[in-house]
Structure 1
Amino acid sequence: MIDWNRMWQEARRRKTWQRKTSEDWNKRAAGFARRHKNSVYVKEFLNRLPLSAGMSVLDMGCGPGTLTIPLAPKVREITAVDFSPGMLEILTAKAAEGNLNNITTRQGAWEDDWQALGLGRYDLIIASRSLAVDDLKGALDKLRRAARGWVFIGDRVGSGPFDPAMFAAIGRPFHPGPDYIYTINILYQMGIHARLDFIDLPPAHSYKTREEAISSWAWMFHDLTATENDKLNRHLSERLTKNNHGHWCLRDEVCPSWALISWRQTTHQHD
């Protein structure tokens, strides 16, 4: 039998991009929150959740509350977990601003002991674009054990948020690493027949300033040299155009999409 978890680990070792540390995400927290607040992905993800007012929810890898904040008024309680204190600070500030008192935050990671974090069982678990882990099977098993209802995962398709053309422009090779197909196959080997859907995103990005556009793409690269930075600036300058509202727009060469993986955990599926 194919060991999909081992294949996932091998594919991750070949990938070009590096996993972001907690400090990396602290630096990106404010910009990330601003860019994703009203994204098509967020709206589509939320629209597909089977919500009810009495639900308890776990948002694993919650970031700055991109999904937590709009979900909070629709459910009984949410536990939001992230390993970046900077992200959790923004989430907490947003919750206070919106007078949302049903959100509990926990600083923690997939690899941590969830019981030690105070995590229990939940009616709905969401893990949106947060499964950048070495032991994918272990992470999925934690979701399974913590679920007493639905689990929804937002997972990468192909190159995901990365733009291969930008790697080519600065002269770096690009290996995207594993995507959703590994997740689906590991779940299958765990006895979970998950549903698979896709969220297609618009091909254009809009930015208020040229500088914002450049910084929003520079995050893809680790340790840019001065020469590489110049090449990236030239490449983006060639692709950026101004719209009628005075905003800078960049059109993707390939229309990006995300996989939406879901299943309903039943009592007999637990060990």
Structure 2
Amino acid sequence: MQPAVSDPDWNEIWKERQRLQESSKLAGDPSHNWDKKENAERYDANARSEYDDRVQKTIASLPLSRDARVLDIGAGPGILALPLAPLVRDVTAVEPGAGMVEVLKKHAEQEGIRNIACVQKTWEEVDPTRDLSPLYDIVIASLSLTMHDIHEALAKMDAVAAGSVHLFWFADMPFWERMYADLWMPLHGRPYYPGPKADCLFGVLYQMGIFPDVTMMPMGKEYRFADRDGMIAFFCRRFGATTPVQKKVVEGYIGPMIRAEGHEVVISGMSTLAHVWWKKHQRR
């Protein structure tokens, strides 16, 4: 008789993949410090043009109504919260980055939006009884599932939801992550470890007794600069290329991807985003 084979613990797999990805990062990289207003403003400026199509598709996929209360987890500078606010009763935006919150509030004031409440904490730090006003008709976490214990994070999302929970996460390696994977070994002599993807997320939910619907949608990513030198300099900083040899590696990799569009130079790539969602009754 063959011994019983237990299912893998998908939450532990998620944790390990998150740990490995964290270990790939360069020490002292300030580019993703969202407490800094200049970083938040840079992200916001790129996102408002680059993500317009994705934002429209995301909003169209949600069961919106004028009476709906929305919780947006990892709201950033309000990429979803701001266009959602006029369509619903209210939005609670959870965002730990001080710079991101400042930019979100500035946009809300300029646009006369008064129904967004900001909670400046990570989702792990949030205490629903103290920091939130559940229940929420729609709970969203879009490209913000960086929590180490995803089981705990998802359970908290499900607990504060009255209607449905909507997660938007990578189904494959996004364009920017493929670049890291290609360059990390030649630049730094060690592999780059990608983070957990939607297959792992689905496994965690399944083991929680939640059977979500999953829809795939294309996701584009592009970088635009005024000139080639500016683009190469940006990616040298992004990939931690400081020596002449490292900079030559980056230029040799990025150069063939660059194309001219009008007065700008552009590189872009496609990947696939998974919309993973469930209603409260979709449980074992």
TM-score (norm 2): 0.83
Alignment partners' CA distance in 2, 1:261 and 1:231: 38
Q: In the TM superposition, what is the alpha-carbon distance from 1:167 to its structure 2 partner?
A: 4.3
Structure 1: give runs of 5+ residues left out of the alignment: none
| Range that drifts further, 8-17 or 19-28 | 19-28
Aligned residues between the structures: 264
Alignment of 1:120 onto 2:168: no
Match of residue 178 from structure 1: 196
- Report the equivalent of 2:217: 199
User: Is contact 2:142-2:167 (8 Å) kept?
Assistant: yes
Distance 2:171 2:236 in 1: 21
Q: How far apart are the structure 2 equivalents of 1:46 and 1:215? A: 35
1:119–1:251 distance in 2 versus 1, CA, 3 Å: same
The 2-side partners of 1:215 and 1:88 are apart by 28
Provide the C-alpha distance between the structure 1 equivalents of 2:34 and 2:247, rounded to a whole number of angstroms.
21
Q: Say if 2:8 is the partner of 1:2.
A: yes
CA distance in 1 between partners of 2:85 and 2:233 (Å):
31
Give the equivalent residue in structure 2 for 1:36: 47
- Alignment partner of 1:108 out of 118, 121, 129: 121
Deviating more after overlay: 163-172 vs 88-97: 163-172
- Structure 1 residues 1-27: Cα deviation after superposition (integer angstroms, max 9, x where no partner): 321101111222233644999971234
What fraction of aligned residue pairs are identical, expressed as a percent? 27
Distance 1:120 1:44, change over 3 A: same
Alpha-carbon RMSD across the aligned residues, in angstroms, is 2.7
Most deviating of 139-148 and 42-51: 42-51
Cα distance in 1 for residues equivalent to 2:48 and 2:56:
9
Query: Is the 8 Å Cα contact of residues 155 and 179 (structure 1) preserved in structure 2?
Result: yes
1:246 maps to amino acid: H
Provide Cα deviations, 1:75-107, integer angstroms capped at 9, x if missing partner: 010000111010000000000111001111110
AA at the equivalent of 1:225: T
Q: Which moved more, 1:102-111 or 1:39-48?
A: 39-48
Name the CA distance, whole Å, in 2 between partners of 1:238 and 1:133: 35
Question: How far off is 1:33 after superposition?
Answer: 0.9
Q: Distance in 2 between matches of 1:208 and 1:260?
A: 30
State the partner residue of 1:26. Answer: 35
Indicate if the aligned counterparts of 2:82 and 2:108 stay in contact, CA closer than 8 A. yes
Match of 1:249 in 2: 266
- 1:128-157 per-position Cα deviation (integer Å, ceiling 9, x unaligned): 000111101000001000100111111112
Q: Give the distance between the partners of 2:59 and 2:183, measured in 1 at CA.
A: 35
Once the two structures are superposed, residues 25-76 of structure 1 have per-residue CA deviations (whole angstroms, 9 ceiling, x without a partner) of 2343111111111322222111111110111100000000000111011001
Structure 2: segments with no counterpart, 5+ residues: 1-6
Work out the CA distance in 1 between the residues paired with 2:30 and 2:265.
30
Counterpart AA for 2:95 = D
TM-score under structure 1 normalisation? 0.86
